[in-house]
Structures are given as C-alpha cells and as structure tokens.
Amino acid sequence: MVIFIHDTAVSTENLKTRLGQDYGELMRLLMANKLQPLKFLAWYYTNQPPWLMDVAVQTSTKPGTLDNPIQFRVVKGGEVLIAHMWGPYNHIGKAYSKIGIWLQENNRLPKGNPFEIYINDPSAVTSPDEIQTDLCQPLE
C-alpha cells in the first residue's frame, strides 16, 4: 500500500525540490494519521525532463482521510528485477541502462514502469557515494 502524489518536475534541477515538497506533504499526512512510513519510493513515467512521476511512501494501513493531491493505491506483488545502486542520483542512468541490457540478454519483458526505492536519506550521508537506491523493474 502506498500513498502518493502525482507530480511533474519541469527540469532535473527542479526534481529535488519537487521530491522534497511532496515527501513533506506525505509525511504530514502519515503523522496526522499516526502511521509509520515503511519505504520511500518514486515511479517515473518519463526518462527525461519534464519528469512525470508518482512520489510515494509505503505504509501498512490506508490513512483515514486523504488530502488533495494525495492518493492511495495497493501495489500488487510479482516478479521484479532489482538493481542495487550506490552513488549519486545523477549516475542512476547507468543503472537503468544495465537493467535494459539484462532484459535483452535474458529475453525478458518489462511489465509497467520501473520504480525506485530510496534506501537511505541523502542528507544523512557524508558522501554522495553512500546514497543507496534500489531500482525495481516489474517483469512479465
């Protein structure tokens, strides 16, 4: 289960700001409903600016009320290819390229859009090389 905000970042420079604002809104809703965040995620529907995305937080329970523009959905399970990445977000394109290569070499098809799970808080690390992100590609 995730709560999310569908949003657009007009540029790569604007992406950090939009993510920060959206996660702030999602956290306010979770705190108001006394719910714990489980994972911080994002689905990207474009691979270049403008970035169309769903900024999301996984939770174990649906909040009692949802404030606009926050939405809720249940994410169905299934087979997923996961690429573990350590390093700054501006290197994430390399990880997506490796996912594409793996899909081709293993004759597999993607099912829907990939999503990212942010393992740690980039503001809490001493170096951008310590940032951990899991890139997840659902599979047919």
CATH 3.20.80.10 residue window(s) in the chain: 80-138
Please, which residues bridge with residue 38 across strands?
none
Alpha-carbon Rg for the chain, nearest whole angstrom, is: 15
CA distances from 60 to 3, 33, 75, 119 (A): 10, 12, 12, 18
Q: What is the pTM of this model?
A: 0.93
pLDDT digits 0-9 by tens, 95-112: 999 999 999 999 999 999
CATH superfamily, region 80-138: Regulatory factor, effector binding domain (3.20.80.10)
Please give the pLDDT value at position 67.
Answer: 87
Residue found by looking up tokens 């009692």 in the block: 64
Q: Which one, of 44, 57, 140, 50, lies nearest residue 96 by Cα?
A: 44
Spatial distance between the Cα atoms of 78 and 138, rounded to a whole number of angstroms: 7
